[in-house]
């Protein structure tokens, strides 16, 4: 397999493939994540605001400051921990891509906030 072109994922998700296996290239994976992030925004609102709420709640629970980027890192870590048990679970890989994309977007928003201060 050409690792640069195609990453093979195994999944039992019937929507993805009737036989339980599906190959997805990087562009298909990114397009899939775009759809997920769009739907999440419709259901949960602005991701940055949601991550800020989570950071505030976690800050109280942990008695220390937690940033929106910390939230993204923790969500990615949770997915990585799940992948130890089931490394071929497509959804966890897709979620990691999504959380990383949100973190990149949040970096820009944090820069804008600093510029406005």
The tens digit of pLDDT for each residue in 17-48 reads 333 446 788 898 899 999 898 888 888 889 99
The verdict on residue 86 lying in a domain is yes
pLDDT digits (tens, 9 = 90+) for 83-113: 999 998 899 999 999 999 999 999 999 988 8
> Residue ranges of the alpha helices (H) in the chain?
26-44, 47-62, 68-85, 90-116
What is the number of domains present in the chain? Answer: 1
The verdict on residue 79 lying in a domain is yes
User: What is the pTM assigned to this prediction?
Assistant: 0.74
- Residue bearing tokens 């490394």: 87
The verdict on residue 1 lying in a domain is no
pLDDT digits (tens, 9 = 90+) for 48-62: 999 999 999 999 999
Token pair recorded at residue 106: 């949040």
pLDDT digits (tens, 9 = 90+) for 60-79: 999 999 999 999 999 999 99
Structural domain range at position 45? 6-116
């Amino acid at each position: 397999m050409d690792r640069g072109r195609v990453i093979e994922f195994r999944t039992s998700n019937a929507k993805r493939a009737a036989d339980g296996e599906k190959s997805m290239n990087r562009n298909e994976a990114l397009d899939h994540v775009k759809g997920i992030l769009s739907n999440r925004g419709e259901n949960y609102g602005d991701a940055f605001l949601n991550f800020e709420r989570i950071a505030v709640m976690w800050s109280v629970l942990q008695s220390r400051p937690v940033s929106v980027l910390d939230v993204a890192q923790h969500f990615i870590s949770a997915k990585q921990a799940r992948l130890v048990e089931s490394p071929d679970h497509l959804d966890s890989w897709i979620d990691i891509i999504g959380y990383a994309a949100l973190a990149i977007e949040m970096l820009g928003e944090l820069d804008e906030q600093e510029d406005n201060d």
